[in-house]
Amino acid sequence: MSWDVLLHWMTHAGDGSWEGFKRAVVQLAGEDADVDELIVALRFHLSDLGYVDFFTGGSRRWQVLPPTLVGLAPAGTAILTGGRTPGLQDAFLAAGERLGCVVAIESIDCGPATLRLQGPRPGLAQVATEIGVRFSERYASTLAARIKPLFTKFEEMKDETAPTNWSVRSFDFLSMAMIEGLRRNSACEYSPRYGVSRWYVHTRRGLLRSLPKREAIFVAAMLQGVRLLSFDAGNSSLLARTNAPLPESYARVACLCSGRRPSIDGDALIFPHVPPTIAAFLCVAAGQPAPLTQADAQVSATA
């Protein structure tokens, strides 16, 4: 199944509801597909690679992002992200070839194809100009600059009382799984009998602060001093846990360094080609310790 049609539909619609997205996936999926898994995979693919924002502003809606030619960490490489239509795609391919760039269409099982462009910087910029989209050479850095650190978010959130008659589960960092009941300084999920659950972080005074699921888990890790992120300086890879993935905006920054979604190795999610500065920024912004560089390690050892 080509999920380009899904992206075309979302692009034309501009925005929509989460249920509408799920229905669209069901329409396009084959009868034998595991729809639930597919919906989740598609959602994160579209979000991580900067095509669509999901659950914007706390709502259960999605919104397509403007088409942008995104420069990647390997210099001279870019991908086309954001909304796109068949017309825009054709124009992109034609302009790329005409301007002497290497155009590649990378088909992916659970997402729209990635349109990758290789060439000199002026060539990339010229392609963007010709097809009328913005060229952002260091898009990952720009995106990272917009991130509000989790510790700042956490400090700004107001304390709330627990919803009455809602069931609660907490995220346990030992088992890296949800457990019944409310744990201190943990990310907890309150669920009504009907409807959508809400995520909170339990604070020291027994109050709650509302945050999205992934952010709540990272804040809880910050409060408990649990390390969830690491950086492999040798391979320039940022490593996260599969059962505690990066918040969406952080994952997008990491993915748009390479133009690829993370690979899975055991219980680790590996984001390739993440520059050390961006990796350090993401770690600190997510409430994690900044990764030590080799030089820092040398200095520390010397000291």
Partner 1 sequence: MFRTGLRAIVAVLRWASALVTRRGPRPIRSSPDVVHPTRADLPKAALALANVESTLSHRESADVPDAEHPVPRIVSMSNPAGVDSEAAVMLEAPLRACEFETEENCCADQSPLEPLSPEHAPSQDSAVGEESRIELSVLDTAEESLSLRTPDVTMSTEYEVEKRFSAEGPEQLGEAVVPQESVGARDVDALVNAPGTTDSLPKPYELHSEVPLVPEVAPVQETGLATTDGSTSFPALTNDSVAFAESLDHEPLFGTQGTPTEGDGPRTALVDSGRERKPQSSTVPDARNELEEQDARDLGQQEPARTAHPKSSSRPEQRSAGERSRTARMSPDEASRPFGGVVAGTPSPEYALWNKAIVLNSLQMYASGDEVYLTITPRILAGALAEVEGVFLSPEDASTRFINSVSAMYKSRVLPHPEKLQILRRCGEDGLPECAGFLALCVLAAYRMRTEEDLAATAYYRRLEELLGCGMSGGMPRGFDGDDFEAVWLFLCGWLRQEHGRQLAMPRADVGLRRFVALPLTHVPLRQVDIERLPDVFDWAGYEPGERIAIDRMSATLAQWTRARGGFTVAGLEALGDDRRAAVLAQIAHEVECWDGSLTDASGRRTASVEIFLHWERRLPVLSYLPRRPAGFPTTFDDGEHVLDAGQEGWYEPLPMDVGDGIALRDGFSWQSEADNIHFVLRRIAADVIAMAPSEFDGPVSHGSLVFGLPGAVMCTDAVAVRVVQYLESVTGRRCAPVNAPGVPTGWRLIIGVNPIYRVQPPEGLEVLDAAANVEIIPRGGLRLGRRWAWLNSAPPTLIASGVQATEPVLIDEEPVQVDQDGIIQDEGRLTRPGVHVVQVGRIRRRLEILVPELPAGVRDGDKQGARPWSVVALPTGSWTILGARPDEIAHATSGRWGHGSLASCAFEPIWAVSFAGGRGATVRLLRDPVTPPVALERRSPLKALRRAREWADAVYGAHIRRPTFYSGAASTHSRAPLDWIAYVNAAREIKRALRAGRR
**Per CB under 8 A, 54 contacts partner 1:** no
200 pairs with which residues across the strands?
188, 210
Provide, rounded to whole angstroms, the least separation between the CB of residue 75 and partner 1: 13
**CA dist., res. 183 & res. 203, Å (int):** 10
107 binds partner 1 (CB under 8 A): no
Q: Which residue lies nearer to partner 1 by CB, 269 or 285?
A: 285
Which residue shows structure tokens 């992109």? 92
Binding to partner 1 by residue 251, rule CB under 8 A?
Answer: no
Binders of partner 1 among residues 176 to 235 (CB under 8 A) are 192-196, 222-223
86 binds partner 1 per the rule CB under 8 A: yes
Nearer to partner 1, 171 or 281 (CB): 281
Pick from 152, 167, 235, 242: which binds partner 1 (CB under 8 A)?
152
Burial class (CB in 10 A: 0-12, 13-18, 19+), 191: middle
Nearer to partner 1, 103 or 143 (CB): 143
Asked if 62 contacts 56 with a C-beta cutoff of 8 angstroms, the reply is yes
Which helix (H) or strand (E) is 77 found in, with range? strand 77-81
C-beta pairs of 59-64 under 8 Å, 24+ apart in sequence: 60/17, 60/18, 60/19, 60/196, 61/15, 61/16, 61/17, 61/18, 62/10, 62/15, 62/16, 62/17, 62/18, 62/21, 63/14, 63/15, 64/10, 64/11, 64/13, 64/14, 64/15
Shortest CB 13 distance to partner 1, Å: 6
Q: Return the range that interacts with partner 1 (CB under 8 A); candidates 4-12, 42-50, 96-104, 259-267.
A: 4-12
Contacting range for partner 1; rule: CB under 8 A; set: 86-94, 169-177, 254-262, 265-273: 86-94
Phi, psi of 127 (to 5 degrees): -60, -45
What is the C-alpha to C-alpha distance for residues 255 and 249, in angstroms, rounded to an integer? 10
- Whichever of 41 and 222 has its CB closer to partner 1, that residue is 222
Cα–Cα distance list, 184 to 65, 89, 218 (Å): 38, 50, 14
40 is a site residue for partner 1 (CB under 8 A): no
Whose tokens are 């069931």? That residue is 167
Residues from 62 through 81 that contact partner 1 (CB under 8 A) = 64, 66-67
Q: Could you say which residues in the range 112-151 bind partner 1, by CB under 8 A?
A: 125, 128-129, 131-138, 141-142, 144-145, 149-151
- Does the protein bind partner 1 through residue 35 (CB under 8 A)? yes
Stretch that binds partner 1, among 83-91, 100-108, 170-178, 255-263 (CB under 8 A): 83-91
Query: Shortest approach of partner 1 to residue 79 CB, angstroms?
Result: 16
Phi then psi for residue 240, to 5 deg, are -125, 175
Q: Is 191 left (phi over 0), alpha (psi -120 to 50) or beta?
A: beta
Residues 8-27 that bind partner 1 (CB under 8 A): 8-9, 11-14, 17-20, 23-24, 26-27
Specify the residue, 144 or 239, whose C-beta has the smaller distance to partner 1.
Answer: 144
